[in-house]
A = this chain, B = another copy of it.
Amino acid sequence: MVQYHRPELDRVFGAVADPTRRAILDALARGPARITDLARPFPVSLNAISKHVKILERAGLVARDVVGREHYCRLETERLREAAAWLERHKAFWESRLDALARHVTKRRQAERRAAVRRRGDAGAAHARARTGASR
């Protein structure tokens, strides 16, 4: 179940981790656009957008058609599909595992409670004493 390193996933997830790049992808969903068009709504330089597009390209999320001096960018959905599949698969798996664990813990808790009642007192097992995290 633990698979070997897949650099495409690094690049795809790395690419969509940036809000500007997600916005660029959204813009491209409206149809192909040139670098200049893509850059217009953003408060950053044209060069910055050019770099972002290059990153999206390396991630395989965007392709470009060069027409004279103009570069038309368009979405490329295959890699996105792969990334979505990875997330979906893991989400499903993790959730089922968590359910299984929850059932297991519940069963163990019941067993512990019965044992504690038998012995009387000291109802708190180590698990119950855990100060649960998310401290920030």
Contacts and interface: CB of A to CB of B under 8 A. Distances in A.
Majority SS at the chain A contact face: helix
A119 B45 CA distance: 44
Q: How many copies does the complex hold?
A: 2
A26 interface: yes
A80 B91 contact: yes
The size class of the interface chain A forms with chain B is 35 or more
Contact of A17 (B10, B63, B84, B132): B10
A95 B14 CA distance: 21
A1 B26 contact: yes
A46 interface: no
Interface string A54-74: 000110000111110001100
